[in-house]
Amino acid sequence: MSEAPVSISTRDGIRTLTVQRPEKLNALNRQTLESLDAAFADAAQADEVRVVVLTGAGPKAFVAGADIAEMNGLTPVQGRDFSLIGQRLMRRIERLNKPVIAMVNGFALGGGMELAMACHLRIAADSAKVGQPEINLGLLPGFGGTQRLLRLAGRAAALELCLLGAPIDAARAQQLGLLNRVVPAAELEAETLKVATQLANAAPLALRGILDAINVGGECGIEEGLEYESAQFGLAFSTEDMREGTRAFLERRTPEFKNR
C-alpha cells in the first residue's frame, strides 16, 4: 500500500500538513488535492488546532507544481474539472477560520506557488524558488494563480511571472510581497515554529475576526469592508477572551485565552 499523499501531525495547537510525494517533488495530482482538501476541512473543525503549517516532504520542494503526467492525458472537460478541484482547495485554505502558514522549503512552482499564495502567511528558505511556469507547457495557471498574483504583487508582476514563466528567487519574491519572511534554510523550521507558536497562543476568536475582515475587505468596496470590520470589532466585546486580554494588559501579565 502506497504512503498517504499528505501526512498530519498536531502538537501544542499547531497542525502540520506535509505533502508526501518527494519522488515527484510533491507534485499535486488529484488524489493529493483531495487529501489536502479533506485535511484542511478537518483542521477547521478540530478544537485542538489553533494554526496550520503547510509544507512539502524532502529538501528540494514545497510543491513543484501540478502533476504533469496526470494532466497530459486530460480532455478539456477533465482539465476544467481539475482546475475547479484545485481552486476549491485554495479557497478553503484562504477562507479557513485559523491562520495557515506556508513553510516554503524549496521549489514552489505552478500549483505549488498557487498553494502558497492561498495561505495567510508565507515563510521561505533563502534557497526557495517560486514562479508560474505553466506557459512553458502550453498552459496557464488554473488554481487561482492569475488572480492571487494580481492581488498580492500587482499587475506588472503578475504579467511578468505568468507570461515569461521564469522562476524567481526568494529575495525577489519577498520584494514583490509574495513572501512574508525569508530565512536561511537551516533556520526555516525554527522560524516557522516561532511564528506558529505565537499564533497558537493568540486569541482565537480575534484571529478569526481578523481573517474574516481581511477576506471580506479584499473582495468588496472600502465602505462595505469598513462596515464589516466595525461589526467584527463589536462582536469581540462579547467574548471572554477580550475581557481576559484587556485585564491581563492592565495587570501586566500574560493573557490566557480560552477561545470563548
Q: Is 134 a catalytic residue?
A: yes
- Please check whether residue 9 is in contact with residue 52, taking contact to mean a CB–CB distance below 8 angstroms: no
- What homologous superfamily does CATH list for 6-200? 2-enoyl-CoA Hydratase; Chain A, domain 1 (3.90.226.10)
| Helix 30-45 with 76-94: angle, nearest 10 deg | 20
- Please check whether residue 32 is in contact with residue 38, taking contact to mean a CB–CB distance below 8 angstroms: no
Q: Is 223 a catalytic residue?
A: no
Least Cα distance to 114 among 185, 191, 27 occurs for 27
Which of 34, 48, 70, 114 is flagged as catalytic? 114
Domain ranges of the chain: 6-200, 204-250
- Which cell numbers hold the place of 108? 514552489
**pTM, to two decimals:** 0.94
The two domains 6-200 and 204-250 share their CATH topology (first three levels equal):
no
What are the angstrom distances between the C-alpha of 173 and each of 151, 181, 182, 237, 248? 14, 10, 9, 38, 38
CATH number for 204-250: choose from 1.10.1200, 1.10.12, 1.10.150, 3.30.67: 1.10.12
Phi, psi of 200 (to 5 degrees): -65, -25
| Helix 204-217 with 222-236: angle, nearest 10 deg | 170
pLDDT of the chain, 260 residues: tens digit per residue: 357 899 999 999 999 999 999 999 999 999 999 999 999 999 999 999 999 999 999 989 999 999 999 999 999 999 999 999 999 999 999 999 999 999 999 999 999 999 999 999 999 999 999 999 999 999 999 999 999 999 999 999 999 999 999 999 999 999 999 999 999 999 999 999 999 999 999 999 999 999 999 998 888 889 999 999 999 999 999 999 999 899 999 999 999 898 88
Q: Can you give the length of the chain in residues? A: 260
- Please check whether residue 96 is in contact with residue 211, taking contact to mean a CB–CB distance below 8 angstroms: yes
Which of 23, 48, 134, 256 is flagged as catalytic? 134
For residue 196, the one-letter residue type is: A
